[in-house]
Amino acid sequence: MVHRTVRVALLAALLAVVAGCGIPRDPESTLDRVRGGTLRAGITASEPWTTLEGGRPGGVEVELVERFATELGARVEWVDGSEADLIGALEMRELDLVVGGLTADTPWQAKAAITRSYATTRVVVAVPSSQPVPDDIAGLRVAVESGTDAAGILEDKTDAIAVRVPDVTQVKGSAVAIEEWLLADLSLRDTGVHLSKSKHVMATPMGENAFLVRLERFLIAHQGEVPALLDAAEAS
Amino acid sequence: MTHHELPPDKHELLKKAVRLEWLTIAYLLSAVVLLYFALGSSQAMKAAWAEDILSLLPPIAFLIASRVRRKQPNSKFPYGYHRVTSIAFLCASAALLALGSFVLYDSVMKLVKFEHPPIDLVKPFGDSPIWLGWLMLPALAWSALPAVFLGRAKQPLAKELHDKVLFADAEMNRADWLTAGAAMFGVVGIGFGLWWADGVAATIISLDITHDGYKNLKVAVADLMDKEPTIVDHSRPDPLPLWVRNELMLMDWVKDAEVRLREEGHVFVGEAFVVPVDNDDLVGRIARANEHLLDLDWRLHELVIAAVPEIRRPEPAGEEG
Q: What is the CATH number of the domain that holds A126?
A: 3.40.190.10
Q: Verify whether the Cβ–Cβ distance A25 to B192 is below 8 Å.
A: yes
Residue B102 is predicted with a pLDDT of 93
Q: Which residues contact B15 (CB under 8 A, 6 or more apart)?
A: none
Q: Which of residues 187-206 of A touch B (CB under 8 A)?
A: 204-206
Residues A72 and A161 both lie in one domain: no
Give me the count of residues in chain A. 236
CB contact at 8 A, B204 and B105: no
Which residues pair with residue B268 across a beta bridge? B263, B300
Residues A220 and A157 both lie in one domain: no
Residues A139 and A190 both lie in one domain: yes
Residues A8 and A105 both lie in one domain: yes
Residue A84 touches partner B, C-beta closer than 8 Å: no
Closest CB to A16: pick one of B121, B152, B191. Answer: B191
CB contact at 8 A, A47 and A62: no
Residue B1 is predicted with a pLDDT of 38
Peptide bond between residue A24 and the one before it cis (omega within 30 degrees of 0)? yes
Residues A38 and A112 both lie in one domain: yes
Q: Which of B157, B138, B173, B174 is nearest to B56 (CA)?
A: B173
Provide the ipTM.
Answer: 0.79
Q: What is the pLDDT of residues B43-83, one digit of tens each?
A: 999 999 999 999 999 999 899 888 888 788 899 998 888 88
Residue B22 touches partner A, C-beta closer than 8 Å: no
CB contact at 8 A, B71 and B81: yes
Percent of chain B with pLDDT over 70: 98
Q: Which residues contact B124 (CB under 8 A, 6 or more apart)?
A: B130, B135
Residue A220 touches partner B, C-beta closer than 8 Å: yes
B226-230 long-range contacts, Cβ below 8 Å, gap at least 24?
B226/B262, B226/B263, B227/B262, B227/B263, B227/B321, B228/B261, B229/B261, B229/B262, B229/B263, B229/B268
Q: Verify whether the Cβ–Cβ distance A220 to B123 is below 8 Å.
A: yes
Q: Which of residues 100-139 of A touch B (CB under 8 A)?
A: 113-116
Q: Verify whether the Cβ–Cβ distance A206 to B118 is below 8 Å.
A: yes
Which residues pair with residue A197 across a beta bridge? A122
Residues A6 and A113 both lie in one domain: yes
Cβ contacts of B133 on chain A, cutoff 8 Å: 23-24, 209
The number of distinct structural domains making up chain A is 2
Question: Distance between CA A203 and CA A98 in Å, rounded?
Answer: 5
Q: Verify whether the Cβ–Cβ distance A212 to B145 is below 8 Å.
A: no
Q: Which of B227, B225, B214, B244 is nearest to B93 (CA)?
A: B214
Q: What is the pLDDT of residues B243-282, one digit of tens each?
A: 999 999 999 999 999 999 998 877 899 999 999 999 999 9
For residues B257-295, one letter each, b for 16 or more C-beta atoms within 10 angstroms of the residue's C-beta and e for the rest, the string is bbbbbbbbbbbbbbebbbebeeeeeeeebbeebeeebee
Residues A156 and A193 both lie in one domain: yes
User: Which residue in chain A is spatially nearest to B119 when comparing CA positions?
Assistant: A209
Concatenated DSSP letters of chain A:
-HHHHHHHHHHHHHHHHHT-TT-S--TT-HHHHHTTSEEEEEE--BTTTBEEETTEEESHHHHHHHHHHHHTT-EEEEEE--HHHHHHHHHTTS-SEEESS-BTT-TTTTTSEEPPPSEEEEEEEEEETTSPPPS--TT-EEEEETTSHHHHHHHHHSSSEEEEES-GGG--SSEEEEEGGGTTTTTEEEEEEEEEEEEE--EE-TT-HHHHHHHHHHHHHHGGGHHHHHHHHHH-
Cβ contacts of B115 on chain A, cutoff 8 Å: 206-207
Looking at CA atoms only, how far is residue A20 from chain B in angstroms?
Answer: 9
Closest CB to B119: pick one of A20, A28, A209. Answer: A209
The pLDDT profile of chain B, 321 residues, written as one tens digit per residue, is: 345 677 888 888 999 999 999 999 999 999 999 999 999 889 999 999 999 999 999 999 899 888 888 788 899 998 888 888 888 889 889 988 999 999 999 999 999 999 899 998 888 877 788 899 999 999 999 999 999 999 999 999 999 988 888 998 998 898 888 899 999 999 999 999 999 999 999 999 999 999 999 998 998 898 889 888 888 888 889 999 999 999 999 999 999 999 999 988 778 999 999 999 999 999 999 999 999 999 999 889 999 999 999 998 888 887 654
Pairing of β A38-43 and β A188-200: unpaired
Looking at CA atoms only, how far is residue B38 from chain A in angstroms?
Answer: 15
Question: Distance between CA B153 and CA B18 in Å, rounded?
Answer: 12
Q: Which of residues 38-77 of B touch A (CB under 8 A)?
A: 41
Q: What rounded mean pLDDT belongs to chain A?
A: 90
Residues A186 and A70 both lie in one domain: no
CB contact at 8 A, B301 and B244: no
Looking at CA atoms only, how far is residue A114 from chain B in angstroms?
Answer: 8
Parent domain of A75: 2-118+201-235
Residue A17 is predicted with a pLDDT of 57
Residues A99 and A10 both lie in one domain: yes
Residues A102 and A207 both lie in one domain: yes
Residues A17 and A105 both lie in one domain: yes
Residues A93 and A28 both lie in one domain: yes
Q: Which of residues 14-43 of A touch B (CB under 8 A)?
A: 16-17, 20, 23-28
CB contact at 8 A, A77 and A38: yes
What does residue B318 show for φ and ψ, rounded to 5 degrees?
-75, -165
Looking at CA atoms only, how far is residue B120 from chain A in angstroms?
Answer: 6
Q: Which parts of chain A have pLDDT scores under 50?
A: none
Side chain identity, residue A58: G
Q: What is the pLDDT of residues A170-209, one digit of tens each?
A: 988 899 999 999 998 899 999 999 999 999 999 999 999 9
What does residue A139 show for φ and ψ, rounded to 5 degrees?
80, -10
Cβ contacts of A27 on chain B, cutoff 8 Å: 116, 193-195
Domains defined along chain B, listed by start: 8-224 (1.20.1510.10), 240-307 (3.30.70.1350)
Q: Verify whether the Cβ–Cβ distance B193 to A13 is below 8 Å.
A: no
Question: Distance between CA B83 and CA B238 in Å, rounded?
Answer: 18
- Neighbour count for residue B255 (Cβ, 10 Å): 12
Q: What distance lies between CA B22 and its chain's CA centroid?
A: 16
Side chain identity, residue B254: V
Residue A10 is predicted with a pLDDT of 66
B136 by DSSP, 3-state: which? helix
Report pTM: 0.83
